[in-house]
Amino acid sequence: MKTLVTGANGHIGCHVVRAARDAGMSPVAFVREKSDRRGLAGLDVEVRTGDVLDAGSVARAMQGDPVFLYLSVTDVRDVASAHVLAATKGQKGRRYIATGDVLAPKETAALFSKLAGVKPPTFTPPRVLASFLAGRMEKKATLEGGDAGLTRAMVKDALGRHLVYDSSRARTELGATFRPAEQVLRDTFRWLLYIEALVPKTAAKVRRALGEAAAPDADWTR
């Protein structure tokens, strides 16, 4: 089964590519022309270039009628597995949401403090400030050919709200399972330590809080 994976060079996307390949599929990586493709290093997969915002490039990438996999956000391993389940067990044209535990911002902050000894602020910025910053991010992304971490559409849709996603369809129809939030956050901190993504002071706090659990899994690669 040929499978088109959008954002295939990203952290989630490259795991979806691997999961699809391990399930016996033939994944096709759909990436931007100038994207960072280190996440696909060492993978013998077909690569097609384009942008999901460009209908023409998407149409060309869909030649051969591959299964189309789009990406969501939760533990990367569970997302990858859910994509494979959707492609092999899901109903054609039906959408499935892959999400784990639903937490309020304050609950997430409390877990951060418990697991890693750091507590992120839960401050909600004024809408005008958030819109201004999002506009700057969009402009920078356009100039550099990347993605904006925050857009004005996101601000309009989500600021001041707590978005909740329901993955019950994926659980009941596909048999998808998702790790609990505490495990997801613990593994996230372990991964950030492993790739040295934290500033030294924060890394020291996290390592101290996690103790022996901070050690990376044997099969992790950068």
- Show me where the domains of the chain are located: 1-71
Report phi then psi at 27, rounded to 5.
-70, 140
**What Cα–Cα distance (Å) separates residue 187 from each residue in 96, 112, 171, 198?**
24, 12, 22, 14
Report phi then psi at 4, rounded to 5.
-90, 125
Is residue 176 very low, low, confident or very high in pLDDT (cuts 50, 70, 90)? Answer: very high
Q: Write out the CATH class of domain 1-71.
A: alpha beta
For the stretch 36-94, pLDDT in tens is: 888 888 888 888 888 766 667 777 777 765 565 556 458 888 988 998 899 889 998 88
pLDDT at 15 over 60: yes
Provide mean pLDDT across the span 119-146: 83
Contact 53, 151 (CB under 8 A): no
Is residue 117 very low, low, confident or very high in pLDDT (cuts 50, 70, 90)? Answer: confident
pLDDT at 122 over 70: no
**What Cα–Cα distance (Å) separates residue 125 from each residue in 2, 106, 129, 159?**
44, 15, 7, 9
Looking at 64-68, 154-158, 175-179, which range is the least confident one? 64-68
pLDDT computed for residue 66 by the predictor: 56
Is residue 169 very low, low, confident or very high in pLDDT (cuts 50, 70, 90)? Answer: very high
Residues 6+ apart with CB under 8 A from 162: 104, 105
Provide mean pLDDT across the span 185-191: 89
pLDDT computed for residue 65 by the predictor: 53
Looking at 100-104, 160-164, 173-177, which range is the least confident one? 160-164
pLDDT computed for residue 172 by the predictor: 94
User: How crowded is residue 75: how many other Cβ atoms within 10 Å of its Cβ?
Assistant: 22
